[in-house]
Amino acid sequence: MAATPSSAGEPIAGRHRVAIIGGGSGGISVAARLRRAGISDITVVEPSDTHWYQPLWTLVGGGQAPLSASRRPEASVMPDGVRWIRQHAVAVDPDARTVTLSGGDSLTYEYLVMAPGLQLDWSGVPGLAEAVGHDRVSSNYASEYAPRTWELIKNLRSGTAIFTHPAGPLKCGGAPQKIAYLAADYWRKQKVLDRIRVILVIPDPAMFKVPEWTRTLEKVAARYGIEVRLQSEMTAVDGDRREVTITDHASGVKETISYGLLHAVPPQSAPDWVKASPLADPASPFGFVAADKYTLQHPQHPNVFSVGDVANVPTSKTGAAVRKQAPVVVANLLAVMNGRTPAHRYDGYTSCPLVTARDKMLLAEFDYDLKPKPSFPVINTFKERRDMWVFKRYVLPPVYWHGMLTGRL
């Protein structure tokens, strides 16, 4: 794979048959599959020169993987024959079929795939934007902070460690609690866990949306002595005082707690320009793109599809979901190109590898109906397993780089 990006000053002339907004896992997977199907004149709009395998950041924050293992040059994953425009998309007009770019140009498309991902709203919690990266506050949700998480975990020998989960949709919904288990297991092995108060803040009424895995996670939290605050949320941070405000949404009670370590996950939403676009779903308070949950086609604009985190579909936003969505988007886009009605369906499959210790993991796989959808029926994925941890650390990354991004898996 190789690509040469267009420079910011280069005119973007002519009509592009397929424009893909976003060069992350969804955009690249769709581009690769379209090329394999023989489609030419594909343009990917992606400003970054780095492609990240973000699922590894939990293990980076837990001291189990180097950050470099999650990074590749964007040019190395761009499919051959795909034009890469290295600019930001800043607006879309689906009636005129144009996308406005940060360099001031516009491109015209016949078909559009929306895959810009989501944005981290650090300012969504008062004080968080100022504190993160400082004042013993970190977050595995950003590459620049994940290594810091491990430094904070290693250096904490007593005090209070708080791990938060925001309300609303977010990518990899299990990640906010996975790092709590990795940290607690490390402290247990260092024989300091009994001197550390560990608090896990979860906005939902249960630890996980699927009961089969909730029961196991409750036992995991109890094993480490973690205080689980359900229906609660971080609502303010004072980095100078090293204090966080936790609001219990069930009772309305607010509590201010001093911390020695705060792993904070920010609220998340669609990029601002997507929220302001005609493609945004008016039913989504977070501005995600409207999409039929089965075909991933826009309900008002049949030449527009969405894939990945930006799609307003009722399932967890994970890389595993993208892996199942990409072939559906491509098959249905090809159908539309050939004057047919989209017939391929996405069943809401998603997967959350729940790391519960430094050598154990649960693999939670389920669909729109929250029914388990195991990829390995002969394996009990409701039980913590070392082979599942090995699968996450050493098998899934090469599957991502060499299978999913190339359109083979």
Mean pLDDT of the chain: 95
Helix, strand, coil percent content, the chain, rounded in steps of 5: 30, 25, 45
Read off the pTM.
0.94
CA 315 from centroid of its chain's CA atoms: 12
Do 151 and 262 belong together in one domain? yes
Classify residue 393: in a domain, yes or no: no
Helices and strands, number each (H, E), in the chain: 11, 22
Identify whether 356 is part of a domain: no
pLDDT digits (tens, 9 = 90+) for 373-395: 998 888 888 899 999 999 999 99
pLDDT of residue 261: 98
Based on the fold, state whether residues 84 and 137 are members of the same structural domain: no
Return the structure tokens found at 61. 């924050």
Tell me: do 51 and 108 sit in the same domain. yes
* pLDDT score at 409: 87
Is 172 annotated in the active site? yes
Q: Beta strands 243-248 and 71-73: pairing type?
A: unpaired
Residues 89 and 168 grouped into a single domain: no
Domain closes at, from 326, 348, 370? 348
**pLDDT reading at 351 higher than 60:** yes
What average pLDDT does the segment 85-90 reach? 97
Could you tell me which residues come within 8 angstroms of residue 376 by beta carbon, excluding any fewer than 6 positions away?
363
Residue 62 lies in a domain: yes
Cα–Cα distance, 16 to 159 (Å, whole number): 57
Compute the distance between CA of residue 353 and CA of residue 43 in angstroms, rounded to an integer: 33
Instruction: Answer yes or no: do 263 and 132 share one domain.
Output: yes
* Three-state SS letters, 340-368: CCCCCCCCCCEEEEEEEECCEEEEEEECC
Is residue 320 assigned to a domain?
A: yes
pLDDT confidence band for 13 (50 / 70 / 90): low
Quick one: average pLDDT of 189-217? 96
User: What's at 30, amino acid-wise?
Assistant: V
Residue with tokens 């397993």: 385
CB 50 within 8 A of CB 174: no
- Considering the domain architecture, whether residues 149 and 16 belong to the same structural domain is answered as no
Q: How confident is the model at residue 2 (pLDDT cuts 50, 70, 90)?
A: very low
- Tell whether 402 is covered by a domain: no
Is residue 255 domain-resident? Answer: yes
Q: Give how many domains the chain has, as a whole number.
A: 2
Q: Give the pLDDT band (50/70/90) at residue 7.
A: very low
What pLDDT does 378 receive? 85
| Residue 214 and residue 317 in one domain | no
The number of CA neighbours under 13 Å toward the Cβ of 231 is 7
pLDDT tens-digit series, residues 247-292: 999 999 999 999 999 999 999 999 999 999 999 999 999 999 999 9
pLDDT at 237 over 60: yes
Q: Which of 267, 282, 298 is the last residue of a domain?
A: 267
pLDDT at residue 30 tops 60 = yes
Within this chain, do residues 106 and 210 fall inside the same structural domain, yes or no?
Answer: no
Asked if 178 and 238 sit in the same domain, the reply is yes
- Domain annotation covers residue 397: no
**Residue 42's CATH number:** 3.50.50.60
Which one of 193, 207, 304, 352 is the catalytic residue?
352
How many CA atoms, within 13 angstroms, populate the side-chain half-sphere of residue 325? 36
Residue 15: per-residue pLDDT: 87
What is the mean predicted confidence (pLDDT) over 208-217?
Answer: 93
Residue 10: pLDDT band with limits 50, 70, 90 = very low
Instruction: Say whether both 102 and 76 belong to one domain.
Output: yes
Are residues 240 and 199 part of one domain?
A: yes
Residue 98 clears pLDDT 70, i.e. is over it: yes
Catalytic residue among 44, 101, 172, 200: 172
Establish whether 352 is a catalytic residue: yes
24, 120, 139, 263, 409 from 272: Cα distances, Å? 18, 11, 22, 25, 31
Is residue 405 situated within a structural domain?
A: no
Taking the CA of residue 96 as centre, how many other CA atoms within 13 Å lie in the half-sphere pointing to its CB?
10
- 64 and 185, same structural domain? no
Host domain of residue 112: 5-118+270-348
- pLDDT tens for residues 309-335? 999 999 999 999 999 999 999 999 999
Q: Kind of pairing, strands 196-201 and 227-229?
A: parallel
Residue 315 per-residue DSSP state: S
Instruction: Tell me which of 292, 313, 348 is where a domain ends.
Output: 348
Residue bearing the bigger pLDDT, 157 or 1: 157
Amino acid (1-letter code) at residue 240: D
